[in-house]
Amino acid sequence: MEMKLWVSLIVVSAITTTALGDFGGALVKGFYKESCPLAEEIVKHNVEVAVLKDPRMAASLLRLQFHDCFVLGCDASVLLDTHGDILSEKQATPNVNSLRGFEVIDYIKYLLEEACPLTVSCSDIITMAARDSVFLRGGPWWEVYLGRRDSLKASFAGANQYIPAPNTSLEGLIINFKQQGLAIQDLIALSGAHTIGKARCVSFKQRINQPNMLQTFYVDEFKRHSTFRRILRSQCKDSSRDNELSPLDIQTPAYFDNHYYINLLKGRGLLISDNVLVSEDHEGEVFRKVWEYAVDQELFFADFVESMLKMGNINVLTGIEGEIRENCRFVNL
């Protein structure tokens, strides 16, 4: 584990002097250095505590940033509860009974308000927590750009429209990411977040029952693909097990590594939207990148960091836009 963390730091250190500066925009490194010098340390410590209590929380906090940034932008709109004119994104189909980690963000925000009132935004907390979660599971560490402010609204409709469903086609995923200003390479790299975490049976039922088709890069003479589907079918026998969980990465579910891509090449991606990266790529561009990540973990880590920085800059609010919420669940009075 220590070796994996050390390699991760080496990988990212090669990027920090070059690629990172391209995605800062109005955001900057060390934004809270003077106004709240312990901000990043407070977030890191409490994410570590949360992940020690519940290892799955790492994936949940990482997923929280995806679901925030893909709706309105990286503005913590996903954290708002239904109140007054606001209809919470938490109730949207991709999020309800699925998205987690809100209480962890709440507690971190409480501590930061005690230390530095109305200084650290909820959207920056999400960003730092996602980075720290990846690192705690053996993935890369990177310096995040900060200075986001929080939105004054949520978009229930946007959450239903812009967050990809687990059965989305490759074409649908490409279009979805393009709407966010993200390229095909970003789609492939960010999909690697599924190297940690779990999904409910209801999310991959179609994957179990879909007709046999070529989903691997080789002839499946040992029936690995059909065996994998039989295992999933035994876990999700009927609708009474819709909320049963299965790891997104069956090989190394507790570690952030490149096994997600190795699984894809073997037809062992859990979700339909995972497997389409190899089964629906008629041009070969996506498949080639999946193969590269499967054989080169450091390349995956480097590209993942670059894409996370790019995603973290989607439609951010800065300066006098939005506000710094006192409570992440509600806009200020």
Enumerate the known binding-site residues. Answer: 68, 71, 73, 75, 77, 89, 164, 194-195, 249, 252, 257
Q: Indicate the annotated binding residues for heme b.
A: 194
Residue ranges, CATH 1.10.520.10, the chain:
33-163
- As given in the structure block, the two tokens for residue 165 are 């469903």
End-to-end Cα distance, the chain: 46
Binding residues for Ca(2+): 68, 71, 73, 75, 77, 89, 195, 249, 252, 257
Residue spans in the chain of domains classed CATH 1.10.420.10: 170-310
Bind-site residues for substrate:
164
Kindly report whether the global pTM for this prediction surpasses the value 0.85: yes
According to the model, what pLDDT value does residue 175 have? 97
pLDDT tens, N- to C-terminus, the chain (333 residues): 444 444 444 444 444 433 333 455 589 999 999 999 999 999 999 999 999 999 999 999 999 999 999 999 999 999 999 999 999 999 999 999 899 999 999 999 999 999 999 999 999 999 999 999 999 999 999 999 999 999 999 999 999 999 999 999 999 999 999 999 999 999 999 999 999 998 888 777 676 666 544 444 444 443 445 667 677 776 777 676 777 788 889 889 999 999 999 999 988 888 889 999 998 987 899 999 999 999 999 999 999 999 999 999 999 999 999 999 999 999 998
* The pLDDT of residue 200: 81
CB 91 within 8 A of CB 156: yes
Q: 133 in helix, strand or coil?
A: helix
Please give the pLDDT value at position 227: 66
If we measure between CA atoms, which residue out of 101, 47, 65 comes closest to residue 312? 65
- 149: helix, coil or strand? strand
Q: Largest alpha-carbon pair distance within the chain?
A: 64
Give the model's pLDDT for residue 52: 97
Q: In the block, which residue shows the tokens 């439609």?
A: 315
Task: Give CA–CA dist 71/298, Å, rounded.
Answer: 30
Q: Please report the pLDDT score of residue 216 as a whole number.
A: 45
Q: Token pair of 4, please? A: 């994996």
Residue 201 is predicted with a pLDDT of 80
3-state class (DSSP) for residue 234 = helix
Which helix H or strand E contains 262, and what residues bound it? Answer: helix 259-265
170-310 is classed CATH 1.10.3720.10: no
Rg (CA), the chain: 19
Q: Does domain 33-163 have CATH number 3.40.50.450?
A: no
What helix, strand, coil percent values describe the chain, rounded to 5?
55, 5, 40
| Catalytic sites, residue numbers | 67
